[in-house]
Every structure is written in structure tokens, then in C-alpha cells.
Amino acid sequence: MSDSIPQLEAVRSYLEQLQDSICDALEAEDGAARFDRRDIPRAGGGRSRPRVLSDGAVIERAAVQFSHTLGKQLPPAATERRPELTGGSYQAVSVSLIVHPCNPYAPTCHANWRLFFAVPEAGGDPVWWFGGGFDLTPYYGFEEDVVHWHRVARDACLPFGEALYPQMKQACDEYFYLPHRDEPRGVGGLFFDDLSEVPGSDGQGDASFETCFAFMRSVSGAFLDAYMPILRRRKDEPWGERERDFQLYRRGRYVEYNLVYDRGTRFGLQVAGRAESILASLPPVVHWRYDWTPDPGTPEARLYTDFLRPRDWLAESEDE
């Protein structure tokens, strides 16, 4: 595969700028801590730009990572979705981020946007596809926060057709799910994988690279509008030992998901990526309890009964 694919270079440039803008916004909101910013060449070409913020006034841990990866063979985390490309070479550019706030009333958030180019082992033209989205994981539920999150997600999709948001919301609910717990990880958002065609409002697909790239820019560009108002609203809520303990307990679910199910984590480890960068998404402090459930009627129990289940948040809010 050529080391310079014009479309990939355009996406790479956009994602690097996106990484900068998100880091700048999070630093400004925290007001105390700064990102550790590095630029690391990757073996065989490409580069990593790991950015990690720790022990801030508002944010306990944030990781906003850019990676450009080249390889002679797609790893299993990619070919399980595209088995016809097994043995093929590839290039991938991505930004992946996680924010773990200090305040238990402020939710964790995750986002990822990526582009793959792959060449089948037998040769031929590169195959490309986009992936990504964003999702929210609260510890204490606030309906106004979740409705805002989903409204921004819907609005980012609307220019490309009314069908996209419900499809990608459902895909997010299905993907960020812990089968061994029979439990969603959070309240969802958007998730798209192997995107090489954006269906329009007329039901017809537009398979152009430019349209898919524009959709990815719309969704990624909406991330700060979705998350920052929630973080600002919750960062100064009073909290104590009870709330902190529940936050650390629920963070354990996040660790379980990332290490067992997350394809991005497995992809990074399978291509021998920098482990410190890949695992920087994990929360710095976590508690596990044996066979624990919250008391009925408590705010902790309400997370399970009212929030950790698929809901049409926007339709419900309009009915009220």
C-alpha cells in the first residue's frame, strides 16, 4: 500500500486538529491540570500522539489519543468484521478519548473516530471505511443531561437523513453492553462501524468518501457541544464518601467492558501499540465489591431502574 493516500492524509489532518481542540477545551474547563503531550513515531511508519491529563481540579483522568497505524496484516479485531480482508495490509488513523471526572455526579464519556484503508491480500484497490461515535456513562442519572446528550447526537445526524440517529443509537445500545452482567454500560449515544455508505432521507445510499467524511466531521464536531454543558453543570455538585464509593464501584464495569469486549482496545494490543497509551483510558481508581446491589429506592438504585436500560430519550422528553 502506498504510504501516502490523499484521502487518508485529509482525515489525518482533521483528526489531529480535532485532538488539539478537544484537549484545549478540557484543559480550559479543568483550570489546573495540563495534558502530557507526546509525539511518538511508530514502527513501520505512522505516529502516535498520546495526550493524558491526570489529577486535575475537575478531571481525574482524561486521555485523548491520536494514532496513525500501518501494518502488513489486519489483526483479528478488524477482520472479525471484515473476514474477506484477512491477510491484507492496512493503514488506520483515529482519535479515541475518555474523560473520567472527579465529581461522581459528572458522567464519564467516551468517543472514537477512525478511518481504515485496507488492501486485500490478493491485491487490488484499497477498501475504506469509517467508524466511531460517542457514548455517556453516568454514575448518578439526570434526565436533562441524557436528553441533551441525545439531542446533540440526533442533530449531528439530521443533515444526512432522519434514519441515521435511530439506527446508530440502537447500534450504540447494542455495542456498549456487558453480556456477563446483562447490563448496558451507560445511556448510549451514537455508534457506527464499517461505514462506507451514508443512507439519505430518500433511503438511497451515497457511497462517496466525501459524504462519509462529512458525516464523521459532523458527529465528531458535536462532541464538545454534547459533553461540556453536562460537565459544567455537574462539576460543582456537593458529594461525599457515599457518592465517591459508588462511582468507584461503577467504574469497575467500565474496566470490565474495555478489557473484555472493546474492539478498539483489542485492536491496539494486537498491533503491538503502546500499552501505556491504550490503557490510559482506564480510570485511575476503581473498587470492586462482591455480590453487591444498591438498596431499593436510593439514587444508586435509580441508575439501574431508570437509566441503565434502552430508552427513547428524545421521544419521552417531547411527550412530557
Return the active site residues: 110
79 C-beta neighbours (distance < 10 Å), count:
17
* Beta strands, E only, 9-83: 36-37, 40-41, 47-49, 51-54, 59-71
CB 65 within 8 Å of CB 48: yes
Place of cell 487518508: 8
Containing H/E element for 89? strand 89-101
- Provide the b/e sequence for 95-111 (b: ≥16 CB within 10 Å): bbbbbbbbbbbbbbbbb
The Cα angle at residue 280 between residues 277 and 286, in degrees rounded to 5? 160
Is 46 within 8 Å of 70 (Cβ atoms)? yes
Point out which residues pair with 116 in neighbouring strands.
92, 129
CB 188 within 8 A of CB 310: yes
Residues 46/283/177/116 CA torsion (nearest 10 deg): -10
Residue 213 makes CB contacts below 8 A (sequence gap 6+) with: 7, 10, 11, 14, 115, 130
Question: Which CB contacts under 8 angstroms, 24+ apart, belong to 151-155?
Answer: 151/314, 152/222, 152/225, 152/226, 153/189, 153/190, 153/219, 153/222, 153/226, 154/314, 155/222
Pairing of strands 47-49, 51-54: unpaired
